[in-house]
Amino acid sequence: MSSLRELQERMAQALITPSPASAAWPAERIAVYRRNVAANYRNALGASYPVVRRLTGAAFFGAAVDAYVVAHPSRSGDLNVYGDAFGDFLVQYAPAAPLPYLPDVARLEWAIDEAHRAAEAPRVPEAMLAALASVEAERLASLRLRLDPSCRLVASPYPIFHVWRANQPDRDGRERVLLDEGADRLLVRRDDARVAIEPLQAGEHAWLAALAAGEPLGVAIDAAQRADALFDLGHALHAQIAVGTLVGVLHA
């Protein structure tokens, strides 16, 4: 006799894709459930990836979502937080090969989605500057700086920000985007009730990425200078504190 867990797993698999395990379930009923489940997944990912859907069309997008669900089954009952690996999936999804920028557009959209849902954190630039000023010079390199929880960093060799802007609901989608316009390095951050996307220079992006990974300030500066020998720490520090990217000082 099957356990309840085994029955649930068989049922869940049957709802996603036909298999020998689904033969014991009434075919018509399973087909109805399967269509409903597929529609739920397509709607959920369509809400997270509206630009990807617009770029590819509904039929292509639906087929891609169906394949993604098989490759990456949901581990949560909340479809609002499902879809984090969709960008990585599109890299290997053969039908998407003619659109090499598509995975990075998806990664940008997921960063926006996460920024919307991120926790709130106090932003007090004056307190942040005072905390830095109170640290002895010899200890500055060992400091770890905390980014606002909504911050996400996205990089691409393609002009994905232009692609994203050209495919917003208020655009007709016919704006010409040249893929050789240049690489994008973007900071995604929630400002009040909206999400802001800020293009960054290579050095500043590398610096923030290192800080986001938990590296101390000295290591982050080295990463920035390897990316851009002209990286200006003072300018970047004050600019990102002022807009609320950097919100805390963690002492070593």
- Looking at the structure, tell me whether residues 179 and 121 fall in a common domain: yes
244 vs 149, 204, 231, 241, 247, CA distance in Å?
10, 15, 20, 5, 6
Domain boundary pick from 82, 99, 116: 99
**Residue burial 15-52, b: 16+ Cβ < 10 Å; e: rest:** bbeeeeebeeeeeeebeeebeebbeebbebbbebbbbb
- Looking at the structure, tell me whether residues 20 and 106 fall in a common domain: no
**Mean pLDDT calculated for residue range 226-240:** 96
Task: Specify the number of domains making up the chain.
Answer: 2
- Looking at the structure, tell me whether residues 30 and 105 fall in a common domain: no
**Alpha-carbon distance 53 to 61, whole Å?**
5
**Alpha-carbon distance 50 to 14, whole Å?**
28
Domain boundary pick from 99, 127, 162: 99
184 and 156 Cβ atoms separated by less than 8 Å: yes
User: How far does Cα 68 stand from its chain's mean position?
Assistant: 16
- Looking at the structure, tell me whether residues 122 and 95 fall in a common domain: no
Owning domain of residue 27: 1-99
pLDDT in tens, 153-167: 999 999 999 999 999
| Whether pLDDT at 68 is above 60 | yes
**Mean pLDDT calculated for residue range 116-123:** 90
| Whether pLDDT at 171 is above 50 | yes
Would you state the pLDDT for residue 15? 47
How many percent of the chain have pLDDT more than 90? 72
- Looking at the structure, tell me whether residues 111 and 227 fall in a common domain: yes
**Alpha-carbon distance 102 to 105, whole Å?**
5
Q: What are phi and psi of 162, to 5 degrees?
A: -65, -45
- Looking at the structure, tell me whether residues 117 and 220 fall in a common domain: yes
- Looking at the structure, tell me whether residues 95 and 153 fall in a common domain: no
| Whether pLDDT at 222 is above 80 | yes
- Looking at the structure, tell me whether residues 133 and 223 fall in a common domain: yes
Domain boundary pick from 99, 134, 159: 99
- Looking at the structure, tell me whether residues 132 and 12 fall in a common domain: no
First to last CA, the chain: 57
pLDDT-derived band at 250, boundaries 50, 70, 90: confident
**Alpha-carbon distance 189 to 112, whole Å?**
8
- Looking at the structure, tell me whether residues 38 and 147 fall in a common domain: no
- Looking at the structure, tell me whether residues 59 and 157 fall in a common domain: no
Would you state the pLDDT for residue 8? 41
What phi-psi label fits residue 183: left (phi over 0), alpha (psi between -120 and 50 degrees) or beta? beta
- Looking at the structure, tell me whether residues 131 and 235 fall in a common domain: yes
**Alpha-carbon distance 141 to 144, whole Å?**
8
